Amino acid sequence: MLSELFDTHCHLNLVENFADPEPFFANAYAAGVNRMALVSLDVVSSRRAIELAETHDGVYAVIGRHPSYSAEYDPAELAVFREMFEHPKVVAMGEIGLDFHGDYATREQQERCLFHQLDLAAELQVPIVFHCRDAYPELLGILEARPRLSYDFHCFSGNAEHARQATALDSYFGFDGPLTFKKSVELRELLKTLPRDRVLLETDSPYLSPEPFRGKPNEPANLPYINRALAETWEVTWEESAHQTTANAIRFFRI
């Protein structure tokens, strides 16, 4: 059994999806997923991530406000997030970014929320986990004009040019369920072009379930299926891809 998989992006801290997360932690550990980063959407889920990280080995909190929730953003939250970063198990800011696919918040609202959080991350020199959907040119342009930090593009879905720009920023790339889909040929081909020391595994639970669980809620215990797809793409053993991506995650989160 694999014993070194790291789910770098899951949402066991969302009460509406995981009212009792304990069985899911147990399932993850049994599947060899012994490290998890609980990624937040707002202040409430950030607090929940910290609470769970405090009581579970190998579990860490990523705090911040998601762009789709930026219409409710209050700058007073920055003081709350700054205090949260004093906790030893808070390892990154996220997921923050831009999402032009939906209409939950205007571009102005999203950019205001993003810029404030980028400034805080720069002040504290912490890694950032990005959510980016239909907004790669805009987000990459913003980052290219700012002092460089450590970035992870969660659920990377950009094209070859976006990957080139992100690689030039020394970014990391998160891959999840879509890597296992039969139709994701272009995604797997793009993955082959990325530096292997910048690739991360994630589930995005409860979303983006891998084959053969599509259509069902996702959980961290499904990460081995994504690791298998990665290993096949890289043409290495499952153990080699697990070891490489876990080492990458430990480096990114500075654990």
- The pLDDT, as a whole number, for residue 102 is 84
The overall average pLDDT reported for the chain is 97
42 contacts 66 by C-beta, under 8 angstroms: yes
Q: Please give the average per-residue pLDDT across 200-221, as a whole number.
A: 97
Mean pLDDT of 110-120: 98
Portion of the chain with pLDDT greater than 70, in percent: 99
- Overall average pLDDT of the 170-178 stretch: 98
Contacts (Cβ under 8 Å, ≥6 apart) of 12: 18, 21, 24, 25, 36, 38, 52, 205, 220
d(CA 40, CA 87): 15
- The per-residue pLDDT for range 50-108, each reduced to its tens digit, is 999 999 999 999 999 999 999 999 999 999 999 999 999 999 999 999 999 988 999 99
Distances (CA, A) of 88 to 42, 85, 92, 169: 19, 8, 11, 27
**Termini Cα distance of the chain:** 23
Secondary structure element (H or E) that encloses residue 249, with its range: helix 238-253
Q: Model pTM greater than 0.85?
A: yes
pLDDT for res 133: 97
pLDDT of amino acid 1: 44
What pLDDT is recorded for position 187?
98
Average pLDDT over residues 141-146: 98
Return the pLDDT at 87: 98
pLDDT at residue 3 in the model: 56
Q: Write the DSSP symbol of residue 102.
A: S
Do residues 140 and 166 lie in contact, with contact meaning Cβ atoms separated by under 8 Å?
yes
Mean pLDDT of 29-54: 98
Distance CA 186, CA 1 (A): 30
